Structure 1
Amino acid sequence: MSEMIESPVAAARLKLALAIGENAAFDGWTAAAVEAAALAEGVDPAVAALAVPTDPVGLIQLYGEGVDAALAERLPPDRLGAMKIRERIRSLVWERLQIQEPAKEAIRRALAILAMPQNLASAARFSWRSADVMWRMAGDTATDYNHYTKRTILSAVYGSTLLAWLQDESEGSADTAAFLDRRIDEVMRFEKWKAGIGKREMPSLTRFLGRLRYPPR
């Protein structure tokens, strides 16, 4: 069987994904950011124009796909497999933030775009995708109720940590690291409680998610 050959357009799309976000810090989620990314990555502008979306939401989605790909490279299965589950989730969230560091200002702009009423469905889909990718990388294979609760909870953890990170001016994002550790600890306590007392009484997922989204610093 012959090997599948990646098309130039598909290759350009993957190559440009992160660079577009990094240039969006200066040019916004626009064609100008695509052009700058193509120049930086040595991609023919004509190919770049065919390879990537033309709307801001599409460009934000593409950037997210680039972050997913970079995350998989930085934390391959053999490395994650040597960690306990808490460390896997913590490492995935933290490494995701590190990948996005060069695009921090662009992410602020992206969140403002996704907060627009017409983009709320896309924002929810992107959040779910990020959580799903991280859980799958962590080795989760659940298909029952836990499949959805795990992703809902991780979406809240990641979302609140992302907001803390965007405001963090501490050296090495130390405040964000501490914030993330507290959120992960809360999740672990919730899971432990759900496995014990929760067998006799269903946990209040809504109340728990509220604590993750609006926790005390």
Structure 2
Amino acid sequence: MKINKDKLVLQLLKNITEYSNLDDALLNSLSQLKINEDKYYEIKQELFPKGLSSLMNELNLIINAKLSKEKKPTRFKNFKVNEKIKYFVIRRLLIFQNLVNKKKFFKRILKPNSILGSNKILFKIADEIWFLSGDKSTDYNYYTKRIILMKVYAITFSFFVFDNTKNLEKTKKFLDKEISVVLKFGNFKNKIKNTIKF
């Protein structure tokens, strides 16, 4: 029997917030999808070897796939880089919101043993957003840009979890402020570099 990986992951995402551990949530998901429980260990080892971190990674891949298939705004090519970043951050959050109970899932990923995995996923998210925005840097700026975006995404995500406004209007305003702070800091650094000569 061929297993639909995405379907299983999405079912597990629905169940993970209702169970105290991944094992019970996975077993329940297999039952709901009428997948033989004999496949449990094989599936867990193949798809979720690192537990919740693996599940978060699979969720990230699903969101990436959906995002890459979406039709972009008509004037997207004329967007400034920061506008492209904002666009992809909000689109990711909207897709996430449609797939997961965000408040319950947020509580799960805040557990200490999930923090390291969360940081790895955040870097992958930042890397994907920069890639979709057209970034081709390969120097030290490559990591600097992604680390900064990781922080912006993480704090925006924390705000988004409790935003119940239509189309995430409050989150959009919050993200605008965060991006503005980063841009101002970048301009400040450039002024310092131009002023101080070695």
Q: Please give the range of the TM-score, normalised by the shorter of the 2 chains.
A: 0.7 to 0.9
Amino acid at match of 1:109: K
In 1, Cα distance between equivalents of 2:73 and 2:35: 34
In 2, Cα distance between equivalents of 1:111 and 1:144: 32
Secondary structure at 1:168's aligned position in 2?
A: coil
| Change over 3 Å in CA distance of 1:129–1:197 after alignment to 2 | same
Q: 2:37 matched to 1:61?
A: no
How far is 1:145 from its partner? Answer: 1.7
How many correspondences in the alignment? 188
Amino acid at match of 1:164: F
Unaligned runs of 5+ in 2: none
What is the aligned counterpart of 2:174 among 179, 189, 192?
179
Q: Map of 1:71-90 to 2, 5 A cutoff?
A: 71-74=67-70, 80-90=76-86
Deviates more, 1:28-37 or 1:86-95: 28-37
Task: Give yes or no for contact 1:131–1:151 (8 Å, CA) kept in 2.
Answer: yes
| Change over 3 Å in CA distance of 1:19–1:99 after alignment to 2 | farther
Q: Map of 1:120-131 to 2, 5 A cutoff?
A: 120-131=115-126
Identity percentage of aligned residues: 24
Q: 2:109 matched to 1:111?
A: yes
Q: 2:18 matched to 1:26?
A: yes
Match of 2:91 in 1: 95
| Change over 3 Å in CA distance of 1:83–1:66 after alignment to 2 | same
Q: 2:183 matched to 1:188?
A: yes
Deviates more, 1:31-40 or 1:99-108: 31-40
Task: Give yes or no for contact 1:77–1:137 (8 Å, CA) kept in 2.
Answer: no
How far is 1:26 from its partner? Answer: 3.5
Structure 2 length-normalised TM: 0.76
In 2, Cα distance between equivalents of 1:70 and 1:106: 22
| Change over 3 Å in CA distance of 1:89–1:156 after alignment to 2 | same
Q: 2:11 matched to 1:16?
A: no
How far is 1:71 from its partner? Answer: 2.0
How far is 1:29 from its partner? Answer: 6.0
How far is 1:124 from its partner? Answer: 1.9
Task: Give yes or no for contact 2:56–2:121 (8 Å, CA) kept in 1.
Answer: no
How far is 1:149 from its partner? Answer: 1.1
In 1, Cα distance between equivalents of 2:8 and 2:75: 27
Secondary structure at 1:144's aligned position in 2?
A: coil
| Change over 3 Å in CA distance of 1:34–1:176 after alignment to 2 | same
Amino acid at match of 1:16: L
How far is 1:162 from its partner? Answer: 0.5
Unaligned runs of 5+ in 1: 1-7, 202-217
In 2, Cα distance between equivalents of 1:71 and 1:150: 21
User: Alpha carbon RMSD of aligned pairs, Å?
Assistant: 3.1
